[in-house]
Structure 1
Amino acid sequence: MAEPDSIDRHIAHWSRELPDLDPRTEGIITRLQMLVRRMKRDKESGLLGTGLKYWEFEVLHRLVAAGAPYRVAPTALAEWLDTHPATMTSRLDRLEQAGYIAREHDPGDRRRLLVTLTGLGRERWEAVMDRRGETEDRMLAVLDDGEQEALAALLRKLVAGIEADGPPLMPDWPAAR
């Protein structure tokens, strides 16, 4: 059995106040919540030294997710990022000034603008992704390959069960528009 952790102390504390508390459920859910919180903090700190802010990375990430030629309408970016179009315009101005994106007219409809990822934007996105990968590898290094496979299978089973009763937790990436 694994050594006790801070969540075990949390459960012991709340078990005194809530005698009907299910320690297994509380342990699973609280550990998942705390791991997500930690991963979010680590992802944000992974931006340090890359010159990118979180929202900048998110725009670049959506452009890469759209696939080659990494070109998307600004309205689609605003939708995907749940951002007001005026806010998106301001953000795109800053990203263009930094050289991470270019805006150009759609060859099929010159009235329409498209946002395109530049080589520099791709380089910055890759730098963040490399750092995130290193952070994730370090986090999972306490588990051997078999334990990582088992954890992945259990989490997949949990997600599939939740999705059976509702929408997907991870929606499909929309096609580039």
Structure 2
Amino acid sequence: MAKEEYQDIIDNLVSDWNKERPELDASAMQIVGRILKLGKILERRAGQALKESGIYYTDLDVLATLRRSGQPYELTPKQLMKSVLITSGAMTALLERLTKLELIYRASDPKDGRVKLAGLTQKGKKVIDTAIEIRFQEASKSVGMLTATQQKIFVALLKTMLAEIEDA
């Protein structure tokens, strides 16, 4: 079956709404619905790929943020929250779990003793360095069906959408 002939759940959704409520314009769901579906699929694939490293996708997010922050690989929970898409309550639980796994340590911030920094342990650095390679390989596989030109166009379109929607 040619890709143009392929009918997915989003085509069915739009077709159904066009029949049931023809006065509504459901065409934007051709994009939004697929982005939402792709997000779920890509997150699930990333989670599966990370299983062998022994960490979850949310763990990767925090560990990777610490790792890419550069030495001494320490950030405040507030700084982590800017980079990770979870609630503050979930962040607290996640930091506690990563501490128990000895992937991070918690230490008082020398600038403000009331703040507890999260820092990457040697074990954590080793785990994230392995896991991020797996993650990047999975990401490459996920876009491998697109040519380099298609990828550049897709990046530009997604950035345009994000810039407009985030500002709103």
Same fold (TM over 0.5): yes
Instruction: Write the letter of the residue equivalent to 2:43.
Output: K
Is the Cα–Cα contact under 8 Å of residues 108 and 117 in structure 2 kept in the other structure?
Answer: yes
**Structure 2: gaps spanning 5 or more residues:** none
Number of the residue aligned with 2:34:
31
Residue from 16, 19, 24 that aligns with 2:19: 16
Give the aligned length. 162
Is the Cα–Cα contact under 8 Å of residues 75 and 117 in structure 2 kept in the other structure?
Answer: yes
Is the Cα–Cα contact under 8 Å of residues 59 and 77 in structure 1 kept in the other structure?
Answer: no
Is the Cα–Cα contact under 8 Å of residues 78 and 84 in structure 1 kept in the other structure?
Answer: no
**Structure 1: gaps spanning 5 or more residues:** 167-177
1:82 lines up with 2:87 in the alignment: yes
Number of the residue aligned with 1:138:
141
Instruction: Write the letter of the residue equivalent to 1:34.
Output: K
> How far off is 1:144 after superposition?
1.0
Number of the residue aligned with 1:4:
6
Is the Cα–Cα contact under 8 Å of residues 101 and 118 in structure 1 kept in the other structure?
Answer: yes
Report SS of the residue matched to 1:84.
helix
Is the Cα–Cα contact under 8 Å of residues 103 and 123 in structure 2 kept in the other structure?
Answer: yes
Instruction: Write the letter of the residue equivalent to 1:61.
Output: A
Report SS of the residue matched to 2:119.
strand
Aligned counterparts, 1:14-163, within 5 A: 14-73=17-76, 75-76=77-78, 80=82, 81-84=86-89, 88=92, 91-104=94-107, 106=109, 113-163=116-166
Instruction: Write the letter of the residue equivalent to 2:14.
Output: I
Is the Cα–Cα contact under 8 Å of residues 99 and 105 in structure 2 kept in the other structure?
Answer: yes
Q: Using CA pairs below 8 Å that are at least 6 residues apart, which structure has the higher relative contact order?
A: 1
Report SS of the residue matched to 2:53.
coil
Instruction: Write the letter of the residue equivalent to 1:135.
Output: E
CA RMSD across the alignment: 3.1
Report SS of the residue matched to 1:24.
coil
